[in-house]
A = this chain, B = another copy of it.
Amino acid sequence: MDSNATEEKDRLTGTWAEFALGRLDTAGYRRGGSRSQVIDYLATRDCAVTAPEIDERLEGVGRASVYRTLEQLEELELVQKVDLGGDSAAFEKVDPAGHHHHHLVCTRCGRVLPFEDEALEEAIHELPAKEGFTIEGHEVTLRGTCRRCGAD
């Protein structure tokens, strides 16, 4: 079961990386080692990562390339910027299938945990009619104590 779940995850993240590379190709970008490394790293992460974190993790890849790649990926909507209140901006891959999650930032340990909730999504989708505007995107950030810290 667990190996099954892992395979499933690998398949999906692999799909995202391939999807991203394909879109970049279509958009006229050439292939480059630094960009590929950033994409591969993002593919392994299911939730938000900061730019400095990516830079630190990827040896031989310059900061500039990290930021430039993130900018390009965001432009193509392959990656999404997430504002979690830290000193640096965080990014995460966008699921081609359309699923998305929101974030809980633990005020004790600093962990960022993803969560999904259908009722929340519905409430948000009801808003445009009530308030009279068009929604292109939404972001929900919770601050609180995560399960692990709450058990302390």
Q: Which residues of A contact B (CB under 8 A)?
A: 81, 83-85, 104, 106-107, 113, 115, 117, 119-120, 122-124, 126-128, 130-147, 150
Contacts and interface: CB of A to CB of B under 8 A. Distances in A.
A144 B150 contact: no
Contact of A123 (B104, B119, B130, B146): B119
Copies in the complex: 2
Contacts of A84: 83
Contacts of A126: 117, 119
A132 B146 CA distance: 8
A134 B150 contact: yes
A126 B119 CA distance: 9
Counting chain B CB atoms within 10 Å of each CB, the highest count among A127, A133, A145 belongs to A133
